[in-house]
């Protein structure tokens, strides 16, 4: 493949906008999306969330069930997350109007009678949990089958995390298709991906699949590795442990999902399965607890990323950050600009998987923009091949 002009890969398609009514927004809303790490929402707590440009209230009832309802109270519009969770209902801060998880108003204490008001409600979004993540379905009609991807079957410990990136979701998904970046972005020596270098650049090629795309890769004619792109925004890959857990738990089967909060930010959810032999479990859990403590005490990755982009720090100054890997990726991606300019880039042979990803997803976005249904991707639990 010769160097490509951008018009050959983008066709003027808007990959970045994910708000309501945009082609990518419509596409993403057809799938269950992770919105929160389950462990980070205690029973009885509520918080505001922003997903694909729209605000909602996420809360966990005292029974343990999670709900997503509208952002504002139907009465006079204050923010529901500032109120109180009562049982599995949420009560508005302002005048006590109370809604159940289905969004129905079940109490208006200052009215006569003070009970349910059949004609008053706030939106309610289908919400489920799987593998330590809270998922919600923001699309129209009945949600698709749940879960969107199967549990790991290797008996490993499932670990869930979420990082906030200050750039558009699609350049992050493109990054996931780009294996060459590993040799450069993650070459600092502190990051867990330091298994590639300039002398071991991969040869990669894409293959279309019912669920989206497979990336094949090989280094120095060695064994082949595959990575799955479960369209429109999930990746399944086998990776080494994060830094801080080097060697512990072995390589992990991993789902990574990129969910826009708005067009200039996204959440990156990582789900790992760590297969730890029983004899090593106590040491592993101790190492993990220490790693989690370091993460909790560390500066937020988006702040460090911004300092690096502003020239106040360099990646080489933050090699001891426990989430260095995330900072490396977010610096490279946010460094493209909050929304990457695909009109002024020079794609080359090694970008072949990005080009294929754009063509496949772009065809769906074009179909949606033209009022055609667009194809559907079906994931049946296929697994990636580790390769080394
Ligand atoms: S604004 Fe919510 S009860 Fe009045
Ligand atoms: Fe990366």
**What is the three-state SS of 178-200?**
CCCHHHHHCCCCCCCCCCCCHHH
- Residue 342's pLDDT is 93
- Residue 186's pLDDT is 87
Position in ligand 1 atom list of the atom nearest CA 77: 1
**pTM greater than the 0.85 cutoff:** yes
Q: Looking at 218-351, list the stretches that DSSP marks H as alpha helix, in order from N- to C-terminal side.
A: 281-297, 301-309, 324-334
- Residue 1's pLDDT is 43
Q: Are 320 and 291 in contact (CB under 8 A)?
A: no
**Ligand 1 pocket test target in 71, 72, 78 with most atoms within 8 Å of CB:** 78
3-class SS of residue 368? helix
The ranges of the chain with pLDDT < 70 are 1-11, 189-199, 242-249, 375, 387-388
Report the half-sphere exposure of 51 (CA within 13 A, side-chain side): 28
- Residue 355's pLDDT is 96
Position in ligand 1 atom list of the atom nearest CA 92: 2
> DSSP string covering 137-175, please?
--SSSS---S-SSPPPSS-PEEEEEEEEESS-HHHHHHH
Residue 162 pairs with which residues in a beta bridge?
A: 269
- Residue 187's pLDDT is 82
Instruction: Say how far apart CA 136 and CA 140 lie, in whole Å.
Output: 12
* Ligand 1, atom 1, residue with closest C-alpha: 76
Task: Using the mean position of ligand 1's atoms as its centre, give its distance from the Cα of residue 40 in Å.
Answer: 27
Provide CB contacts within 8 A for 282, sequence distance 6+.
Answer: none
**pLDDT tens digits, one per residue of 219-236:** 888 889 999 999 999 999
List ligand 1's pocket residues with C-beta within 6 A.
Answer: 73, 75-78, 92, 94-97
- Residue 14's pLDDT is 95
Position in ligand 1 atom list of the atom nearest CA 78: 1
Structure tokens at 296: 């909790």
Task: Using the mean position of ligand 1's atoms as its centre, give its distance from the Cα of residue 129 in Å.
Answer: 29
* Ligand 1, atom 3, residue with closest C-alpha: 95
Q: Are 130 and 147 in contact (CB under 8 A)?
A: yes
Q: Where are the domains of the chain?
A: 43-136, 157-369
**Ligand 1 pocket test target in 97, 117, 121 with most atoms within 8 Å of CB:** 97
Instruction: Say how far apart CA 322 and CA 245 lie, in whole Å.
Output: 10
- Residue 2's pLDDT is 44
The CATH fold assigned to 43-136 is Rieske Iron-sulfur Protein (2.102.10)
Classify residue 366 by burial, with Cβ atoms within 10 Å: 0-12, 13-18, 19+. middle
Residues, CB within 5 angstroms of ligand 2 (ion): 329
Among 43, 25, 99, which Cα is nearest to 263's? 25
* Ligand 1, atom 4, residue with closest C-alpha: 95
Residue carrying the six token digits 């199967």: 150
Question: Could you confirm whether domain 157-369 is CATH 3.90.380?
Answer: yes
Ligand nearest to the CA of 96: 1
């Amino acid at each position: 493949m010769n160097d490509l002009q951008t018009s050959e890969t983008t066709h003027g398609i808007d990959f970045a906008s994910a708000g309501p009514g945009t082609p990518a927004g419509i596409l993403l809303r057809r799938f269950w999306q992770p919105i929160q790490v389950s462990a980070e929402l205690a029973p009885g707590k509520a918080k505001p969330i922003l997903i694909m440009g729209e605000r909602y209230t996420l809360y966990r009832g005292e029974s343990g069930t999670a709900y997503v309802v509208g952002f504002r109270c139907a009465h006079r519009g204050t923010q529901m997350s500032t109120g109180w969770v009562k049982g599995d209902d949420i009560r508005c801060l302002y005048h006590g109007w109370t809604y159940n998880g289905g969004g129905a108003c079940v109490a208006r204490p200052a009215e006569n009678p003070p009970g349910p008001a059949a004609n008053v409600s706030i939106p309610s979004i289908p919400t489920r949990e799987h593998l330590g993540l809270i998922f919600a379905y923001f699309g129209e009609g009945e949600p698709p089958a749940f879960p969107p991807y199967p549990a790991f079957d290797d008996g490993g410990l499932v670990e869930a995390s979420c990082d906030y990136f200050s750039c558009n979701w699609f350049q992050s998904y493109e990054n996931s298709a780009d294996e060459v970046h590993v040799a450069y972005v993650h070459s600092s020596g502190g990051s867990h991906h330091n298994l590639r270098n300039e002398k071991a650049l991969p040869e990669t090629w894409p293959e279309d699949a019912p669920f989206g795309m497979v990336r094949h890769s090989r280094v120095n004619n060695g064994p082949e590795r595959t990575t799955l792109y479960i369209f429109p925004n999930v990746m399944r890959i086998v990776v080494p442990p994060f830094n801080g857990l080097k060697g512990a738990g072995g390589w992990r089967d991993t789902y990574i999902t990129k969910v826009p909060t708005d067009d200039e930010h996204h959440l990156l959810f990582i789900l790992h399965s760590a297969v730890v032999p029983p004899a090593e479990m106590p040491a592993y859990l101790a190492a993990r607890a220490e790693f989690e403590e370091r993460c909790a005490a560390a500066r937020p990755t988006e702040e460090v990323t911004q300092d690096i982009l502003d020239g106040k720090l360099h990646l080489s100054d933050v090699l001891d950050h426990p989430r260095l890997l995330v900072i490396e990726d977010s610096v490279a991606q946010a460094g493209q600009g909050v929304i990457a300019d695909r009109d002024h880039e020079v794609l080359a042979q090694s970008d072949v998987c990005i080009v294929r990803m754009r063509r496949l997803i772009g065809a769906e976005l074009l179909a949606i923009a033209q009022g055609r249904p667009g194809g559907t991707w079906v994931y049946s639990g296929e697994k990636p091949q580790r390769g080394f």
